[in-house]
Chain A
Amino acid sequence: MRILLLEDDADIGAWTSKGLGAAGHVVDWIENGREALIAASTRDYDVLVFDRMVPDLDGLSALRTLRGARINTPMILLTALGAVEDRVEGLEAGADDYLSKPFAMSELLARITALSRRGHGEGDAPATKLSHRGLELDLLSQTCTCHGTAVPLNPKEFRLLEVLMRSKGRIQTRAMLLERVWDINFEPSTSVVETHMSRLRNKIEKPFDAEYIRTIRGSGYMFID
């Protein structure tokens, strides 16, 4: 994927572009908001990764300008530690995702992957059913069957499985799951994700002796393709 990275800090910029490069992406790293705005509006990128606080023209203003010009390239905004309220502002300005510093490379990679699929119209017609290897989710009736047997899932377990199945083959980090399934934007101090994940797996894997979900250590979870 072709990624435009706007980051003024030399160390973080180098580390980020190296990490993205190692994952097979092509990265243009720019340190100045004005130049990033020009690059984003003249060249074709799959994903933009903008730091909020950069000299000249900050990431948020650049984002607003881009969206104002109907350039809808998916964007991840990077922000300083703990700035929760900035999240809302960023999303309202048209950011597709939001990541606060410091972040793990796996988190950024997972989010970029998720974004690029979204940007390129995954599932052109909204699916009413998701199925894979005998596991079937009916999105209309909110029911789950495994090899024909009904599996009773509570709404949150259903939503968790749906998010995982929709992004099968790609990692969903704990933070991404918290946001998407439970709408939580903070880091819980108890093992919320693990608990629900193990309940879900007890329902869909154990009785059928199958493995649908894989735990990726230090990153998150992945629905096996």
Chain B
Amino acid sequence: MSALRQAMALSLAFLVLLSIGGLVLDDIVTEEFRAETEADLREEFQQISAGFRRDGAFPREIDTAHVFSDRGIGYAVLLADGTVLGPVQPEAFDLRGFDILEGEALFEPEAYEALERIFELLEEDDSDGQPIAPQQELFDVEFEAEADLGWRIYAGPVLDGVLIVYAPGISAFGSDLTTVILFFVILLSLPAIVVGLIFGLRAQRRLNHIGAGFDRIADGDLSVRLAPARVRDDIDELTVRIDGATEKLAASIRQMSDFSANIAHDLRTPLTRLRLHLEESERAEDPQAHSAAAIEQMDNIIAIFAAIQRIARLKGHDRRDGFRTFSLAAVAVQAHDIYEAVAQDAGQDLSLRVEEDATIQGDQSLVMQLLANLIENAIRHAGEGAVITLKVVGNVLSLSDTGPGIPEDERDRVLDPLYRLDRSRTTAGAGLGLAMVKAIADLHEADLQLMFGPGGVGLTVQVSFPPGMAPSKS
């Protein structure tokens, strides 16, 4: 469930970050607001007191309609005789400088009630500027706040009295901002978690699908394919790769099981003969002949195993360290020398044509074996009267025969170890010749091609060695 957990963790992290960001913002805004309010209060205080000083006297009364200035700041005055002009309690005039007061402590009870009502009504319906409460004109409110929150005041002596200016406290606005942020966090958290869940579940489902597929592959079901029809992202690409690996695995397992089946089949004959000869040797008049025949069958079996092992080692080994430079034509001449007579005895004609010699890098004795296997194959399968032609054209070696050839659809498979065409089951050989040729060609990074012989008759096997050095002039 890691994908789901991850998605959830991401959603939560998002929310936490959002909250932190909100709180920081709240702090900054509050501080800014507080500083601004203080500056405003001080400025208002100075303007009003300057007005009083200019007049040399306090106004007779303060019109409640002007309690709040444009800036949302109201004021009240305590006269020398103790009279309070404005809706403020007398105790508030004991303060000096900045302070914060609860609404109840600042305002006259009657005024406070009116304020509360105004704010209540404002909250319910703040759509228009109509008087909405009977005493709204007491306060020309231009801000939104709650009456019972802290009010900021600035108080100081003016003439022989005390002036106090007040404005709704920062906590009013501040708490409002916190609420807004909290509200958004809660509002966002639900979709964030839902989106996280959806993505998480989708990713989880895909991973589970891949995991289940792997389990089936591990259980041996190599037909499992994981990639979707359309590849969209990295996970899809991963599944494509897994499919590729599974396919290769399936192919090599198929080849291996074919191989095992073929080994079993090919060993059955010599083993049966071996058994017969061993049984006969007890009873027969000529036990010597039977044990000699048994040894011959045993040698057959050993030869099959030796060839299988050689192929396995050729495939598994990197013998290129031991490579030397030699002439391809020289090996062809040697092979021709050896097999010309053998072909003749089989009623065939083996000829050699060197059109252009090339020097290649490789293991000469292995290339010799490659050629020997090809020639022996031709001698065995091409039939009497066949014409076998060995040709060297540069670094391309080819052997053509006029025999029955190999059907096109079987040309790849004859390179598999022990694969044999049905009709050749009766002829000698273990079906390892071409597999060995393939293994040797692969070791030399040579390209091996099976095709029709000249004129579409018989078989041509062409081995193209990688271009080596140009033939030395010496």
Contacts and interface: CB of A to CB of B under 8 A. Distances in A.
B307 A82 contact: yes
Given A82-B306, A85-B319, A189 B380 contact: yes
Nearest to B341: A195
A87 to B, nearest CB: 9
B303 interface: yes
B116 to A, nearest CB: 103
Interface in B356-371: 365, 368-369
A182 B305 contact: no
A126 interface: no
Contact of B339 (A186, A190, A217): A190
B322 A189 contact: no
B428 to A, nearest CB: 7
Interface in A154-180: 154-156
Interface string B351-392: 000000000000001001100100010011000000000000
A82 B345 contact: no
A189 B433 contact: yes
Contacts of B306: 81-82, 100, 187
A82 B305 contact: yes
B401 to A, nearest CB: 14
A180 B308 CA distance: 25
Given A81-B306, A83-B313, A218 B295 contact: yes
Nearest to A87: B365
Interface residues of A, number: 28
Of the four ranges (under 10, 10 to 19, 20 to 34, 35 or more), the interface on chain B belongs to 20 to 34
A154 B303 CA distance: 30
A196 interface: yes
B221 to A, nearest CB: 35
Given A100-B306, A184-B368, A187-B303, A192 B313 contact: no
B177 interface: no
A185 interface: yes
A209 interface: no
A196 B369 CA distance: 18
A82 B310 contact: yes
Contact of A84 (B303, B310, B342, B372): B310
B276 interface: no
A23 B292 CA distance: 19
B341 A196 contact: yes
Contacts of B339: 190, 192
B144 interface: no
A188 interface: yes
B34 to A, nearest CB: 89
Interface in B254-311: 292, 295, 302-303, 305-310
A186 B346 CA distance: 21
B342 A190 contact: yes
Contact of B338 (A100, A156, A187, A217): A156
B232 interface: no
A183 interface: yes
B337 interface: yes
Nearest to B311: A82
A162 B288 CA distance: 33
A199 interface: yes
A81 B305 contact: yes
B156 interface: no
B313 A199 contact: no
Nearest to A199: B341
B166 to A, nearest CB: 103
A102 B376 contact: no
In this complex, the member of A187, A189, A218 whose beta carbon has the largest number of chain B beta carbons within 10 angstroms is A189
B423 interface: no
B429 interface: yes
A85 B322 contact: yes
A199 B380 CA distance: 20
Nearest to A82: B309
B317 interface: yes
A128 interface: no
Contacts of A191: 342, 345
B428 A189 contact: yes
Nearest to B291: A218
Interface in A179-224: 182-192, 195-196, 199, 217-218
A183 B313 CA distance: 21
In this complex, the member of A100, A183, A195, A199 whose beta carbon has the largest number of chain B beta carbons within 10 angstroms is A195
A194 B310 CA distance: 25
Contacts of A189: 303, 376, 380, 428-429, 433
A119 B463 CA distance: 42
Nearest to B436: A186
16 contacts: A81-B309, A82-B306, A82-B307, A100-B306, A102-B302, A156-B337, A183-B368, A184-B372, A185-B365, A187-B306, A189-B433, A190-B342, A190-B379, A191-B342, A217-B292, A218-B292
